[in-house]
Structure 1
């Protein structure tokens, strides 16, 4: 199985590109914050000086808890799509007598190999960013001049170990379905979407939503002097709520698709009708595309609104909790989280659209032209963007309201309209061209070849 796994990776490197990028980001992120912790711990007491900010350890902890969770969320999402793109091959292995244990071993080998390939680049990037980050923190007076990133392999080893553990745990869950069902059924299911969202997933989504609500309450009950803690609780709540959205995504996606179906069919009678039927008929696939967009909008919108609310409160004299260092820290955190969310969005949209090649071939065989398919994909991309923006905005609104309650006493945050416009535009620029460019490639070629499952 080891040789087969590696051969599969060499034959179809594109299927593992998204997973490789996600693991690279996860390893680099853990290395970054691990190096900052190591810098604080290994600095002699004589080299430390009182800082004007929260301190390097607090900064690393506050950044790390959100960024690391976000990075691993991206890894799990990318791994799921890497396995989905191999579904047919894994099903064929089951039909030629491969056991469920062998299939799971093959997946584990692929995860281990990808993690090892991304470890060294992730380490290098993580240490480089840690040094640059520490230099900026020292410039702002939040760390002593004598603090340096130490030369130690421990943060790097912890980063690779954590990424590998998350990848293996996710692979065990993702490979369970294909490895447990009968071989013939596995082959049939490789190109279909069937069944309903299971009760365990639904219960997990409800539990995540409950946890997010508790974190929102925790953020809202913080005092104005604890703005950092309120902000971290609100941001963590937004991430937990987005996990709940991911778990219950098919229900939310189907509901929103139904709500948006009437205007879509009126504005685009032909392509709109087909796009709406596709989206509502394949709720799981739609959910997979919508959730990364919601992640991008939800996290970015939460950070932007919280920062604007804190600045507005400081300028109006309601509180003095905002400083130049606070703004810089939030901007740095926003950049990091937006990077993760953008990678997840692109990975997912490309994978979801590329695996629809047989579906596009069938439509062409019954008379649809490439131009008609691209019009259909355009409508689908716009609907996907709209649903992701709506879900992300709801999560960001809840988190920002809790933060605003803690800072100003009012649940009405100060919304930066222009910045939100850039967030929505960025989501659209990632989603629509990503779907259309991948779709343009997927519909290229002879329909009969695509229908037979030929893949690049």
Structure 2
């Protein structure tokens, strides 16, 4: 199974390249914040924090808990998509007597091999980022000048802990993602691999509903915080928004199909040919649409939550005549936003490129029945716009719900302070990542002889 696993990785580089980047980010994130914790723990007594700062351990914990959760969210989402891309091959293995255990072992081997491949560069990136971040904290008076990041990650306990944690998450995600293909009969697995089920599984719906309720309860507790606990309310708000985004990922096929159906009518009216086909593709392949939409929702949801939280805090401080929030507070929020947006952007680009590249045979079949390359590109443009709008709407719903709780804790009103320019930049950023990524990959996928592509792999 090891040779088959490696062969699959060579045959589908876009999917596994995305998984590799997600795992590298996870290793780097754990190394980054683990190095900061190690720096605080090894500092001489009394020198671990600046006189007027919150402490390096507190900053690393506040940043790290959200960043690590986002990194793992990206890993699980990317891994699930990489597995769906090789669903047909797994089904074929089942028909030639491969056991469910062997299929799961093959997928686990892919995850372990990819993780080990990115471990060293992930450690290097995380360690360098920790040194740079600590230097910025010291320059702003948030950490004592004597604190140093100890050694290299390989020479400390940070490296093995980061690697073990990422491997544990990857293997746990593998067990969940490979569950369906390993449980059904071999012949049924091959038939199922060529189609997409129209209904979302009951287990997934129940899990999504449970996570949604849990996120709502967390945000309700967040709203009971006092204005003096603004920092705790902010971290709880970010955690709550991430929990809601997990619910969006679980309920994604259902939510995406509903929104695509609602938005499809104007698209069909504006582009009767390409718009109709784009709408049919998105609604008919809800799981594929969900794979593309969830990263966009992650980007819009986290960016929107952070931006609105910052503007609400600044507005509340000004209204209370206590002066605007300090430049240091704003910088910390902007740094956290940049880190989270980086994860979401990487996840968005990786997933969209892989989703579109995997449709080469579909595009070839459309060309064989008379579609031109120009018509296919118009169809992809309509799909890209719909994908962006659906993702932004889901992310906006999460951001609105989360920041309402934060605003209630800070000001007593559920209406946060929103800067329209910030929202416009978030929408523009999501569109800039989504539309060009889909079109550039699609342009490459429609090249070459249609007959040859149609006879290739699915």
Q: Which of the five TM-score ranges fits, normalised by the shorter chain?
A: over 0.9
Contact 2:48-2:55 within 8 A present in 1 as well: no
Report the TM-score, using the length of structure 1 for normalisation. 0.96
Tell me the SS of whatever aligns to 1:45. coil
The aligned runs of 1:369-380 (5 Å cut-off) are 369-380=372-383
The count of aligned residue pairs is 455
CA deviation profile, 1:85-116 (whole Å, cap 9, x unmatched): 22222222222222111111111111111100
Give the superposition deviation at 1:412.
Answer: 1.3
1:222 aligned residue: 225
Task: Determine if the alignment matches structure 1 residue 440 to structure 2 residue 449.
Answer: no
Contact 1:314-1:322 within 8 A present in 2 as well: yes
Give the superposition deviation at 1:363.
Answer: 1.6
The aligned runs of 1:154-233 (5 Å cut-off) are 154-233=157-236
Contact 1:319-1:407 within 8 A present in 2 as well: no
1:252 aligned residue: 255
- Select the residue among 311, 314, 328 that pairs with 2:314: 311
CA deviation profile, 1:432-456 (whole Å, cap 9, x unmatched): 111111111222222222222347x
Contact 2:32-2:127 within 8 A present in 1 as well: yes
Give the superposition deviation at 1:255.
Answer: 1.3
Task: Determine if the alignment matches structure 1 residue 116 to structure 2 residue 116.
Answer: yes
Give the superposition deviation at 1:184.
Answer: 2.7
Tell me the SS of whatever aligns to 1:150. coil
CA deviation profile, 1:254-297 (whole Å, cap 9, x unmatched): 11112112211111111111111111112221111111111100
Greater alpha carbon shift after TM alignment, 275-284 vs 385-394:
275-284
Task: Determine if the alignment matches structure 1 residue 352 to structure 2 residue 340.
Answer: no
Contact 1:206-1:244 within 8 A present in 2 as well: yes
Distance 1:99 1:49, change over 3 A: closer
Gaps of 5+ in 2: none
CA deviation profile, 1:135-179 (whole Å, cap 9, x unmatched): 111111111111111124211111111110111111111122222
Aligned-partner Cα distance in 1 for 2:96–2:48: 64
The aligned runs of 1:277-292 (5 Å cut-off) are 277-292=280-295
- Select the residue among 220, 231, 235 that pairs with 2:238: 235
Give the superposition deviation at 1:39.
Answer: 0.9
Aligned-partner Cα distance in 1 for 2:440–2:113: 29
Tell me the SS of whatever aligns to 1:269. coil
Contact 2:361-2:455 within 8 A present in 1 as well: yes
Distance 1:207 1:13, change over 3 A: same
Contact 2:14-2:353 within 8 A present in 1 as well: no
2:53 aligned residue: 53
Contact 2:49-2:142 within 8 A present in 1 as well: no
- Select the residue among 333, 337, 341 that pairs with 1:338: 341
Gaps of 5+ in 1: none
CA deviation profile, 1:355-414 (whole Å, cap 9, x unmatched): 222222222222111111110110011011011111111111111111111112221111
Tell me the SS of whatever aligns to 1:413. coil
Distance 1:10 1:252, change over 3 A: closer
Task: Determine if the alignment matches structure 1 residue 24 to structure 2 residue 27.
Answer: no
1:266 aligned residue: 269
Tell me the SS of whatever aligns to 2:225. coil
Give the superposition deviation at 1:417.
Answer: 1.1
Give the superposition deviation at 1:195.
Answer: 4.8
